[in-house]
Structure 1
Amino acid sequence: MTRLEDPLDVGGVRVPNRLYRAPLLECAGNGPDAVDTLVADLEPAARAGAGLVCQGAAIVREEGGCAAPNMTSVADPSFVADLERLTDAVHAHGSKIAIQLEHGGLRSMETWHAAYRREHPTLQQLAVSRPPFPLRLLDRAGLLSYDAKVLSTAEVYDLAADFGRAAANAVDAGYDLVHLAGANMGIVHQFLSPFYNRRNDEFGDGVRFLEVVHDEIRDRVGDVPLATKVPTETEAPSFVRPRLTRGETVGVCRRLAEIGYDALAPVNGSVVWDMSIIRGAFPARAWRDGQFRDGYVETFGGRTRALLVALGNWIESRWYDFEPAWNAELCRDVRDAVDVPVLAEGGIRQRGQIDRLLGRDCDMVGMARPFYAEPELPARLLADENDESVAPQTRVVCENCNNCTVPQATGAPGICRTPAVLKRAGELRRQHAYDRD
């Protein structure tokens, strides 16, 4: 039986166990305190025993492409070189560290963040093809703002080269793995999606873009382990067509493994960034919180628009209810089709659940939002060497309330904001639940 404590080889790198901190928004930016912020956010997971720590999505260009405020760019080699302090801090605890690379494309802030658009009036979104008709309707309604720059073939190659350069910067700074943000409506997702991609050149086959990115990274840094998220779009409303089916996603994963990707993280989702990827309750506390009210107005361009976004959030919370391990079946299908490690995340909350997933549905399990409340969560889920005492019922304190996510639209840091959850985490800390020898 595969255990959480067992090591795993990913592209020639030995990860000491099969628990990873999945990518989150650290909101560190690129200012003078950025590296300190990242160390404070990520080192606790390594100290608590996570085999792999994934830094959240980092942008491959210096300007444009940020999907949320205060995302970190890794286009400047001098800035990335200072991130060696972060990789050293993680390595000191025996863990490995990955960096997730992204460009937001049509999901970038220049589309949806009203204040950012005013501050950057000349920025255009990068687009795989002309924005789909439903999104153009939202533009006409004034809820989004599209001034899309459809990439030429040469410009697609340039973008792939930016991914390669960013990966080289990261590997020089000591990162062990490179992880592409291949879902959640980023540019990689848009290449893979028939909803977005209607190109008539070689990149009309979205896997081709991932192949070119793979080659760019290999040319610059050799055999660094390379992973990517791979989306389905089965959670989109039934009238949305065309979209990625589960079978098509399995086929994409099979091709990526053949190209040379070393690990895959399949995820169910929609064609847009919505609550299908962060399932749970409507974050009522976050929307009511007075300290963020003016920020929501500034972000969404007025009180009426902020209320409409909140209403949409409420509707989505009813549509996409929380489901434990909601990507498990998709991961199992992919695992049966490829011979590289399959990473599962999304709704994994309990040790017994993890034990059932490993070796059947996936090779490694990741958690994201629970780390906001419990930065040292692995200490409670992992056994000491030769210790069988970790109870299957051990579970995270996260309640899937999503109050951590909405304030990030204003640039607020990703932290747990629910008193009952924080109280429980505090009780566990007083009981030394996060202590490790």
Structure 2
Amino acid sequence: MPSTIPAPHASAPRPRERGTTPSEATTPALFRPITIRGLEIRNRVWVPPLCQYSVTARDGVPHDWHLVHLGAMAAGGAGLVMAEATAVSPEGRISDHDTGLWNDAQAEAWSQITAFLRSQGAASGIQLAHAGRKASVWPEFRRLPGSQPIEEGGWPTVAPSAVAFDGLREPTALDEPGILAVIDDFRAAARRAVDAGFDLVEVHAAHGYLIHQFLSPLSNRRDDRWGGSLENRARLLLETVRAVRDEIGERMPLFVRFSATDWAPGGWDEEQTSIAAGWAAEVGADFFDISTGGLVRDVRIPVGPAYQAAHAEFVGDRAGVSVSAVGRITTPAQAEALVASGAADAVMFGKAMMRDPHFALRAAHELGADTSMWPPQYVRARPDLNDGEW
């Protein structure tokens, strides 16, 4: 990190795309390709990281479930398919059923999945993560309360400060060598992501996990160079982005996922998010995936249609960066309006994609977009070749 952190470009204009060609002028905004560094993504219908808690061997190695889960969405027309929050170290897992990228066996397994995604025309991304104080919990399917006991396969957790997430065991505050080791783990995982054939990587700085824990003053009580001021609380994020960029080179896109607000007084908010996004862009990040929440339990969140999209628009406009929106965006028309208006550059569809892995094909049909992305095996089912109805 330089002696001074780059100033936020809060007043910078939002980047604008090049003028549209005649063919693009008639193409719905949601289905116009987007180029980020050396990668062209075929449309703006994207799959966010969706934790599956399905590594029953507890070794972090993805398997057939992950291939079918992600592959179906690629075959279903998604432009970008993001693999779930994938731990950069064993202790960084949310649960012992999570995927990982801390060894070569995991990278080899991921390479089979990225090859299939590419064969279907989709870009592949992976979210690199460390759960911090929210690690060592039971897999979601078991829904047992509290931390997984050490004697039953759990492990000690770490955080910026020894402040527990409500209902979980108290973490150990990371010391300086521990923080530097985390950065090295992200660096090594990024190298394996390249080797595994991913087209882009995302640094997970959201949902109350380790980097978010450093960002928020509610969980970061430190008084050293990793805590206190916004510059210090953002240091882990910026050092991680810098390390990941060093590993992946200049052509591969680097995303960051933020929670734009903790929804709690005195916590992380969209103003701080926009400043940190500007800094992250200065040191190598290209695109920002904007969600909310996760740091504090039982906060009041005004959930509703596209309830987080305004936060994405705020961060994009204030920081002058490209953003995606996520959260209760369930219809093609909703998403088209967000992208066409410039509120977001792409839309992440989570539950909508899980309900219908062919959501992108359906959206193309409803919006009148090009249908050439249909897999040839499925073309005979295309609505325009039948009765016109989905």
TM range (shorter): 0.7 to 0.9
Q: Does 1:79 align with 2:106?
A: yes
Aligned length: 338
Tell me how far 1:149 sits from its aligned partner. Answer: 1.8
Partner of 2:226: 203
Q: 1:227 matched to which residue of 2? A: 255
1:261 to 285, 288, 292: 285
Match of residue 14 from structure 2 = none
Pair 1:45–1:389, CA change in 2 (3 A) = closer
Task: Provide the rounded CA distance (Å) in 2 between the counterparts of 1:327 and 1:12.
Answer: 29
Measured after TM superposition, the shift of residue 49 of structure 1 is 0.9
Aligned match for 2:157, one of 125, 131, 135: 125
What does 1:375-394 correspond to in 2, within 5 Å? Answer: 375-383=357-365, 387=368
Partner amino acid for 2:42? Answer: P
CA distance in 1, matches of 2:124, 2:78: 10
Q: Is 2:190 the counterpart of 1:173? A: no
Describe the shift of the 1:327–1:110 C-alpha distance in structure 2 as closer, same or farther (beyond 3 A).
closer
Query: Is the contact between residue 30 and residue 73 of structure 1 (CA under 8 Å) also seen in structure 2?
Result: no
* CA deviation map 1:325-380 (0-9, x unaligned): 11111111112133432111111111111111014211000111222221222111
The 5-angstrom pairing of residues 281-292 of structure 1 reads none
Residues 175 and 271 (structure 1), Cα distance of their counterparts in 2 relative to 1, 3 Å cut: same
Counterpart residue number, 1:186: 209
> Residue deviations 1:174-209, cap 9 Å, x none?
000101221111101101111111222222222211
Amino acid at match of 1:169: R
Aligned partners of 2:85 and 2:129 also within 8 Å: yes
Moved more, 107-116 or 369-378: 107-116
Aligned-partner Cα distance in 2 for 1:94–1:320: 36
Runs of at least 4 residues off by over 4 Å: 110-116, 430-436
Contact 2:70-2:81 within 8 A present in 1 as well: yes
Q: Does 1:19 pair with 2:32?
A: no
Partners of 2:183 and 2:385 lie apart in 1 by 43
CA–CA distance in structure 2, aligned partners of residues 162 and 188 of structure 1: 13
The answer to whether the 8 Å contact 1:344/1:365 transfers is yes
Cα deviation for residue 115 of structure 1 reads 4.5
Cα 1:231–1:355 shift into 2, 3 Å = same
**Aligned-partner residue type, residue 19 of structure 1:** V
| Structure 2 residue 389 is the aligned partner of structure 1 residue 363 | no
1:266–1:331 contact (8 Å) kept in structure 2: yes
Give the structure 2 partner of residue 405 of structure 1: none
Is 1:324 aligned with 2:305? Answer: yes
Deviations 1:104-124 (A, max 9, x none): 111112596454433246x21
Given that 2:242 and 2:283 are in contact with CA atoms closer than 8 Å, whether structure 1 keeps it comes out as no
Question: 8 Å contact 2:238–2:279 — kept in the other structure?
Answer: no
| 1:401 alignment counterpart | none
TM-score (norm 1): 0.71
Q: Name which of 269, 287, 290 aligns with 1:245.
A: 269
Q: CA deviation at 1:270?
A: 5.1
Report the AA paired with residue 90 of structure 1: L
Q: 1:347 aligns with which of 328, 333, 337?
A: 328
Would the alpha carbon gap of residues 434 and 95 (structure 1) be closer, same or farther in structure 2, given more than 3 Å must change? Answer: farther
CA contact (8 A) 1:108 1:125 kept: yes
Distance 1:198 1:48, change over 3 A: same
TM-score, L = length of structure 2: 0.79
Do 1:380 and 1:434's aligned partners in 2 also have CA atoms closer than 8 Å?
no
Tell me how far 1:273 sits from its aligned partner: 5.6
Aligned to 2:136: 109
Any conservation in 1 of the 2:150–2:156 contact (CA below 8 Å)?
A: no
User: What 5-or-longer segments of structure 2 have no aligned partner?
Assistant: 1-24, 139-144, 372-379
- Taking a change above 3 Å as real, the CA distance of residues 379 and 245 of structure 1, as seen in their structure-2 partners, is same
Distance 1:272 1:36 in 2: 34
Q: Select the structure that is richer in helix.
A: 1
Q: State the identity as a percent.
A: 26
Residue deviations 1:289-324 (CA, integer Å, cap 9, x gap): xxxxxxxxxxxxxxxxxxxxxxxxxxx7xx445311
Whole-angstrom distance in 2 between the partners of 1:365 and 1:158: 34
Question: C-alpha deviations, 1:58-93, integer Å up to 9, x for none?
Answer: 1110x2222245111110112212221100100001
Provide the C-alpha distance between the structure 2 equivalents of 1:114 and 1:129, rounded to a whole number of angstroms.
Answer: 18
- Do the aligned residues in 2 keep the contact of 1:24 with 1:56 (CA within 8 Å)? yes
